């Protein structure tokens, strides 16, 4: 359906409503107002039984089969996607852990190791209580 066709039908529908609201009778509506109204049913139109036969008939749904299919799709999605997402999160945690451990090693462990090395390089001083 072309945009112009749709706009003409919407305009005709709004004009029909406006005539009703303004209190005018249906005979006062112009021919232009009724031009595109052939396929838009009114509330007063009678719909024949043939139109009802054209409606699609809904078939009953087997809920147990639907639940099984949904469960299978969920399980397949989890099997395919979950390991990737878990690995991605674990990689992020591993990277964060390495960064934090490196910062703590520089801030705490390195000064302690430097202190041990400095103590080992100093010559042994005699104990004053040995005299």
Query: Taking residues 1-23, what's their average pLDDT?
Result: 71
* pLDDT in the model for residue 3: 75
| Chain mean pLDDT for the chain | 78
Please report, for the chain, the start and end positions of each structural domain, with discontinuous segments joined by +.
Answer: 3-41, 81-120
d(Cα 117, Cα 10) in Å, to the nearest integer? 89
Give 73-131 pLDDT, tens digit per residue: 999 999 999 999 999 999 999 999 999 999 999 999 999 999 999 998 887 666 666 55
Give 53-78 pLDDT, tens digit per residue: 666 777 888 899 999 999 999 999 99
Report helix, strand or coil for 63. Answer: helix
Is this structure's pTM higher than 0.85?
Answer: no
In this structure, the number of other CB atoms found within 10 A of the CB of residue 12 comes to 19
In this structure, the number of other CB atoms found within 10 A of the CB of residue 52 comes to 8
């Amino acid at each position: 359906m072309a945009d112009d066709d749709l706009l003409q039908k919407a305009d005709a529908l709004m004009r029909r409503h406006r005539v009703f609201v303004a209190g005018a009778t249906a005979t006062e509506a112009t021919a232009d107002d009724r031009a595109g109204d052939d396929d838009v049913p009114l509330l007063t139109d009678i719909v024949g039984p043939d139109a009802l036969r054209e409606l699609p008939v809904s078939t009953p749904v087997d809920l147990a089969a639907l639940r099984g299919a949904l469960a299978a799709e969920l399980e397949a999605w989890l099997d395919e996607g979950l390991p990737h997402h878990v690995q991605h999160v674990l990689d992020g945690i591993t990277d964060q852990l390495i960064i934090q451990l490196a910062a703590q090693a520089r801030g705490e462990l390195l000064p302690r190791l430097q202190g041990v090395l400095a103590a080992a390089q100093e010559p042994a001083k005699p104990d004053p209580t040995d005299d």
